[in-house]
Amino acid sequence: MNSKDSMLTKLAFLSVSFVITSAYAIQGAIPQLKAALGVSQAQAEYLATTPSFAVMFFVVLSPILQRIFKISDKKMIMIGVGLVGIAGIIPFFVNNYATILASRLLLGAGFGLYNSQCISMISVWYEGHVQSQMLGWRAAAEQIGQAFTLFVAGQLLAWTGNWHVPFLVYALAFAVLALFAIRVPDDAKVEVAAEASEQVEAVADNGVEKISPLVYVLALFAFVLCIDYVGLENRFSGLAVAIKGSNYTGASNFLSLMLIGATLGGLFYGAIHKKLGFGTVYLASA
C-alpha cells in the first residue's frame, strides 16, 4: 500500500481538487464562441455557469448513490473525474450549441459526484495539524487549478484562434485520474468512517445533536460570495473584448491573476487556523 504520508500520495489527494474548479476555464473563449455559434451573450454565458447547477444537484445525489450502490469515496472520485475528462472535451469535436450545453451539464455532474469526497477522504486519512494543512492545501489546489486551466485555455485560444481548442484543457482530468487511482489507498477504513458518519447523523436525527445555526449563516455567506465572483468572471472577458477589440484573447490571463490571493490564502490556511481557530473566518472577511 502507498504511504499516506509520502509527498506523491498527498499530491494525488490534492490533484482531484486541482481540476474541480476548471468549469470556468473556457470563460476567455466566450466572445469567440458566441460569434462562431451565433448565440446571444446570455446563451454563451450559460456554458460557463450551467455546470454549477449540475454540481448543486449531484453534490446532494452523490452520497445517496454511494449508499445504494456501495461505492467507496475513492471509486466515486474516480467516476467523477473520469466524467469530467470525457464531458469536458466533447465541445472540441462538435459545433452544436445544444450538444455543448449538455456536455457542460455532464461536466458539472462529474464535479458534483466527487466534490464532498475530496474533503471527506482527507478527513479520514489525516488527523490534527496535518489534516488542517491538507485541507488548506486542497483549497489552494482549487485556486491554482482554476488559474492554471484558465491560463492554459487562454494560451490555446491565443495560439490557434479556434474556440474549440481551449476545451482540450479538460484532458488534464485523465492524468489526474491515473495519478489518483495509482497512489491513493482505498480500504476498509473509508467504509468504517462512512458508517461512523451515518451513526452521527442518526444521533442528530434523534435530537441529541443539532447543527448550529451558524453553519447555515456561513453557508449563505459563502453562497453570496460565489455568486458575486462568478458574475464578475462571466462578464470580464466580454468587457475586455469590448474595450480591446474582437481579436483580443488575453482575458484568461487576467482572470488567472485574480486567483493568486485565493491561492496564498489556501496555502497558509493550516498555519493561520492553528493560531486563530474560528477567528480565521473574521480575518478572511475583513
Q: Is 231 inside a domain boundary?
A: yes
CATH of residue 88: 1.20.1250.20
Dump the DSSP string for 61-114.
HHHHHHHHHT--HHHHHHHHHHHHHHHHHGGGT---HHHHHHHHHHHHHHHHHH
- Asked if the model's pLDDT at residue 207 lies above 60, the reply is no
State the Cα–Cα distance between residues 73 and 75, nearest whole angstrom: 6
Q: 175 to each of 12, 17, 85, 114, 222, how far by Cα in Å?
A: 10, 13, 9, 16, 30
pLDDT of residue 86: 97
Q: Is 12 inside a domain boundary?
A: no
Q: Residue length, the chain?
A: 286
CA 164 to chain CA mean position, Å? 22
pLDDT of residue 20: 93
Q: Is 17 inside a domain boundary?
A: no
- Residues of the domain holding 58: 25-285
- Asked if the model's pLDDT at residue 66 lies above 90, the reply is yes
Most confident of 29-33, 179-183, 273-277, 279-283: 179-183
pLDDT tens digit sequence for 240-253: 767 777 666 666 66
Number of domains in the chain: 1
pLDDT of residue 175: 97
CB 56 within 8 A of CB 72: no
- Asked if the model's pLDDT at residue 203 lies above 50, the reply is no
Q: Is 3 inside a domain boundary?
A: no
Q: Is 18 inside a domain boundary?
A: no
What's the mean pLDDT in 273-279? 76
Most confident of 1-5, 76-80, 125-129: 76-80
pLDDT tens digit sequence for 133-190: 898 889 888 888 888 998 899 899 989 989 999 999 999 999 999 999 999 987 545 4
pLDDT tens digit sequence for 10-58: 999 999 999 998 988 898 888 889 999 999 988 998 898 899 889 989 9
CB 280 within 8 A of CB 273: yes
Comparing 266 with 275, the larger pLDDT belongs to 275
pLDDT of residue 204: 47
CB 23 within 8 A of CB 79: no
Q: 278 to each of 163, 226, 239, 269, how far by Cα in Å?
A: 44, 21, 38, 12
What average pLDDT does the chain have? 82
pLDDT of residue 200: 46
pLDDT of residue 159: 93
State the Cα–Cα distance between residues 279 and 264, nearest whole angstrom: 18
pLDDT of residue 150: 86
Q: Is 16 inside a domain boundary?
A: no
pLDDT of residue 280: 74
DSSP letter at 206 equals T
Q: Is 250 inside a domain boundary?
A: yes
The pLDDT-based confidence of 202 (bands split at 50, 70, 90) is very low
CB 55 within 8 A of CB 115: yes
Q: Is 167 inside a domain boundary?
A: yes
Q: Full-prediction pTM beyond 0.85?
A: no
Instruction: Report how many helices (DSSP H) and strands (DSSP E) the chain contains, helices first.
Output: 13, 0
Q: 158 to each of 151, 164, 233, 237, how far by Cα in Å?
A: 10, 12, 19, 13
